[in-house]
C-alpha cells in the first residue's frame, strides 16, 4: 500500500516538470525496493511454542507472558507479550501464510482455549 501511494505521488509531483524524465527510474527503484522487502520478510523464521499450563509462549529464545487477549482475524493473530527475562514488551503479528494449514488451526484453537484474561 505504501509503495502504491508513494508511486502515485511520485508521478503526480514529477508530471510536467523538467524532472519528468526521472519518473520511470523512480518507479523502477520503488518496485525493486518493494520486491527486496518482500523477499526479506519471507526469510524471517523463528520458533514459536505455546505452554498449555500457563499463559506463556516460547519465542526468540525466551519465555514470554501473554498480557492481553489476542486479537483474532481470519488471516492474522496479534499477540501482546512481555519477556519474563528482561521485561521487554513486544507485539507479535502472526500471519496464516507463515504456518501450515494444520499449524494455523492448532494455533487458533490453543490460543482460544489457553487465554482466559
Note down pLDDT in tens along the chain; length 117 residues: 777 887 888 778 878 877 777 778 888 888 888 888 877 766 667 788 888 778 888 888 889 998 888 999 888 999 999 999 999 999 988 888 888 899 888 888 888 887 654
Those residues with Cβ within 8 angstroms of residue 96's Cβ, 6 or more apart along the chain or in another chain: 74, 75, 76, 104
The CA-based angle 2-15-19, given to 5 degrees, is: 100
User: Contact at 8 Å (CB) between 99 and 107?
Assistant: yes
User: Contact at 8 Å (CB) between 5 and 34?
Assistant: no
User: Contact at 8 Å (CB) between 26 and 41?
Assistant: no
Domain 48-114 fold? SH3 type barrels. (2.30.30)
Helix (H, G, I), strand (E, B) or coil at 19: coil
**pTM exceeding the 0.85 threshold for the entire prediction:** no
Q: What is the pLDDT of residue 84?
A: 93
Amino acid at each position: 500500500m505504501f509503495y502504491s501511494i508513494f508511486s502515485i505521488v511520485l508521478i503526480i509531483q514529477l508530471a510536467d516538470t523538467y524532472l519528468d524524465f526521472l519518473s520511470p527510474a523512480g518507479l523502477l527503484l520503488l518496485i525493486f525496493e518493494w520486491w527486496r522487502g518482500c523477499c526479506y520478510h519471507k526469510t524471517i523464521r523463528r520458533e514459536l511454542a505455546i505452554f498449555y499450563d500457563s499463559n506463556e509462549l516460547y519465542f526468540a529464545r525466551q519465555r514470554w507472558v501473554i498480557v492481553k487477549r489476542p486479537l483474532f482475524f481470519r488471516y492474522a493473530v496479534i499477540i501482546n507479550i512481555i519477556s519474563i527475562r528482561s521485561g521487554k514488551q513486544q507485539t507479535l503479528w502472526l500471519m496464516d501464510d507463515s504456518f501450515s494449514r494444520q499449524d494455523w488451526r492448532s494455533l487458533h484453537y490453543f490460543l482460544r482455549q489457553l487465554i482466559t484474561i
